[in-house]
Structure 1
């Protein structure tokens, strides 16, 4: 009897998260407006308020996002090529300077989350050039486009629900600008990560973004004092940040150089 109840409860929760009559994904702009109307009805049923629904209905199909999602050629480069393309030496140099000037902040973050400055500065530099380039895409349209697109619809449907929840709470502007996949702020958080790790803060603020990034890494297994190179205990947290192997290794190497680790690890 208890087992049957548990199964029924699990099925009910699954239906709540992924409704049986899901809006139909598509492969071109042609069906996007109809999909928005269907998704809006589902979102209302899931408790999304009028602010979120209005924001959804104001989105547009973003062809630049689709092109970027299909493109990502830099992730197929070697580590040396990737670091050269992304300006690895410049990130290290600037990161060392910021490590000193933001010393008090990084000390507080490390005390709270166990994450040293190096990997945080590596992520900050890699993602936005230390806040210089946040992206100019309409973030909600980017996320809605990818939720509609069939390639990764389930993943970005969760991101879209998170974004609409943030809009309802007043934590995200419907007109927020971000990168091609809808990432926002100094370290480029997707909406679900803002919801889970951002603490309701404005991630266009560097201190809030760095705290949120450390919170993310800690939640994904980072432990104080552990190494973060490939094969070491904290490398898994870096892997959780980004799925591309070359990106993970670049963050580890740049972070090590900023933290004063000397020679680069083996490639």
Structure 2
């Protein structure tokens, strides 16, 4: 089972459960908003809108990012071939950085290339969505209880600014630099569970041409390790987003391009690219 967030015809943000029908993802029934999305949750619970729900294909909806994170904790260089392609060593511990929630971008919307940058790259990733508050997850705890599900992120990066700054806040944190969605695949209710040993594939296409192909079996630091490592220093809240790293094949985008990130068991995140 999956869910999405969309803007209704009356301009109200809504959530819906999503199922595959005839090879296409459909919003099939309404869903109460997750607890961290308080404004939408109140509307859902009180049913303030008179607009009736009607099942519809996702492609016909005005989709919003399906997550409302208090923070986006990203993992850098978590595939050895990606570290090598940029001339970096494989990190001995997870290399973490933050993207601001203001960088979130809805599926189908345009990534804006800042005028200050001469190279803006795509980085397709599988992302964890936190479902339960957690801190200091123990070595024997099952991390699944803290995972709501999984979604797709494009960790857009102004590569030249990342390198010139020496740290990654500007290079990774521009508005529109974190496309996410189009759905969240719920843990225990879907065909995706990278913790059970079944590999999840990540594929990125630029204008229809495959540029990245990777699998979670190649993660340097697997998901359970990452959650224990991250919660050793910070509290993760429901809705927090953890992109798990990008495979090799990153490269630049240009205005007019279309970039797609596909994660098996989740779907396809598609965005356009435009100049700022």
Normalising to structure 2: TM-score of the pair? 0.27
Give the number of the structure whose residues are more often helix, by fraction.
1
- Greater gyration radius: 1
Larger RCO: 1 or 2 (CA < 8 Å, sep 6+): 2
Give the number of the structure whose residues are more often strand, by fraction.
2
